[in-house]
Amino acid sequence: MSKALIGAGCFWGVEEYFRNLGGIKKTQVGYSGGKTTNPTYQEVCVGDTEHAEVVLLNFDNNIITFNEIINNFWKCHDPTQLNRQGFDIGSQYRSVIFYYDIEQKEIAENLKKELQKITTKEIATEISEAKEFFLAEDYHQCFIAKKKL
């Protein structure tokens, strides 16, 4: 099982998008990239923690590759928006790919360069080494799927 850690705006919609892709075995929403240990949703929303809302994906690399995950990442949000997605504004909604190894870093950087060649706007996506992942509160997990029931 492989893992990917991405942020693309509010984690509810991002999780739902990826949860429905073949090869994604588990999704968890949470916070990463900041300076606070065990942040709460309220703390992240204030903006002082420097964390992004992220989705941790556990995936079967034989079914879906990291490359395919990043190509879907570009489709599920607007990577040209800096520190926001639509009406959600703040650094917690930034576009970010956290990589776990050099291979993921190279894939993310190469795909970002390819995307930049075909768009006139600057790609704002941050690519950084994965930091500690802090699980969000239970009510955030599979939020959209729970609302569909």
Per the annotation, the verdict on 10 as an active-site residue is yes
- Measured from the Cβ of residue 16, the count of other Cβ atoms closer than 10 Å reads 18
Q: What is the largest CA-CA distance in the chain?
A: 42
Using the structure block, give the residue that is written with the tokens 């991405």: 6
CA 87 – CA 75 distance, rounded (Å): 18
Q: Which of 10, 45, 76, 142 is catalytic?
A: 10
Cα 104 from chain centre: 14
Q: Which two tokens stand for residue 71?
A: 């190509």
The answer to whether 8 touches 134, Cβ cutoff 8 Å, is: no
Instruction: Report the alpha-carbon distance of residue 37 to residue 107 in Å, rounded.
Output: 29
> What are the Cα distances from residue 85, in Å, to 26, 51, 65?
24, 15, 25
Q: Mind telling me the catalytic residues?
A: 10
